[in-house]
Copies of this chain bind each other. A is one copy, B any other.
């Protein structure tokens, strides 16, 4: 398998990207192709010893920046590492594309260049959601589609379910719909209609889930529109940072507190890792005709390594083909509905 890596995307590119690729390469048989400014990437590669049968570089002269307007960027920067990388998957020169770059551009580029899987109306971004003290779950949509129809939520559930089963290895994943209450008749026009569709599906749909239950690990696949998904992810991040800062403040307030904190140090350290979801890999773009994974913009070498290792099943387990087949189930539910 050939993994295409965007050498220029993210805050720490190409330094941490290249370092992560070298680390991952030591653990896998697959080939890694880093796309970007050849000179810069080779300069980084020169720092390490690696098997040059397994790591190679493809030159791309442009870089899509985080500030670039997504659609415009992928349309105009044709020789950017991102567009070149996506096209390599399209042309069969690669099996998986991973980037820490501009999320909107990655979404737009995947959509324009790879195209949607037939029958999928709205490709989505899946994001691993950390569950404290338990196994993480997948949130779909994590922010790609701020306005959705009920059919879209059904698609998100199906794609998330397949990804969770095939890539994360969670059998018969529990699918929950984010809603105002657990009762069937609760919610907005969108969630009420989506509930009906999900209820007819063959998925392991457990019904409505209140936002309160999400961090408790109520389900394996959290389904919601991209606006709500963004709120859930960002609020979780903000609260976690906030609580950690508050703890730090309280635990350094006076000698007694400092002594107590010292005794608890190993436990507190463990706490931070509970929020670290990089062990589950990056965020998959679901519903396009090729496996594309988004890494966090601030990914360090370790996160890059993990994303590569955990991303491999997205291609090897033929998730794209499985989604493509499952479209028929969705179409049946929607036809019944009409």
Contact = CB atoms under 8 A, between A and B. Distances in A.
Contacts of A261: 260, 264
A215 B238 contact: yes
A214 B227 contact: no
A256 interface: yes
Contact of A246 (B133, B146, B236): B133
Contacts of A271: 246-247, 250
Interface in A247-291: 247, 249-251, 253, 256-257, 259-264, 267-268, 270-271, 274
Interface stretch (A22-30, A49-57, A105-113, A205-213): A205-213
Contact of A212 (B213, B234, B256): B234
A120 interface: no
B246 A257 contact: no
A132 interface: yes
Most B CB atoms within 10 A — which of A187, A233, A267?
A: A267
A178 interface: yes
Q: How large is the interface on A (under 10, 10 to 19, 20 to 34, 35 or more residues)?
A: 35 or more
Judged by DSSP, the binding face of A is helix
A265 to B, nearest CB: 8
Contacts of A215: 235, 238-239, 242
Contacts of A230: 180, 211
Contact of A251 (B191, B226, B239, B267): B267
Contacts of A233: 211
Given A188-B147, A256-B263, A264-B257, A216 B242 contact: yes
B178 A132 contact: no
A168 interface: no
A283 to B, nearest CB: 15
A43 interface: no
A237 interface: yes
B260 A262 contact: yes
Contacts of A263: 256-257, 259-260, 263
7 contacts: A133-B242, A215-B238, A215-B242, A216-B238, A235-B235, A251-B264, A261-B264
Given A211-B232, A215-B239, 19 more contacts: A132-B242, A133-B245, A143-B180, A146-B187, A211-B233, A213-B238, A214-B238, A228-B231, A235-B235, A236-B239, A246-B274, A250-B264, A251-B264, A256-B263, A257-B264, A260-B260, A260-B261, A260-B262, A260-B264
Interface of A: 132-133, 143, 146-147, 178, 180, 187-189, 191, 210-216, 226-228, 230-240, 242-243, 245-247, 249-251, 253, 256-257, 259-264, 267-268, 270-271, 274
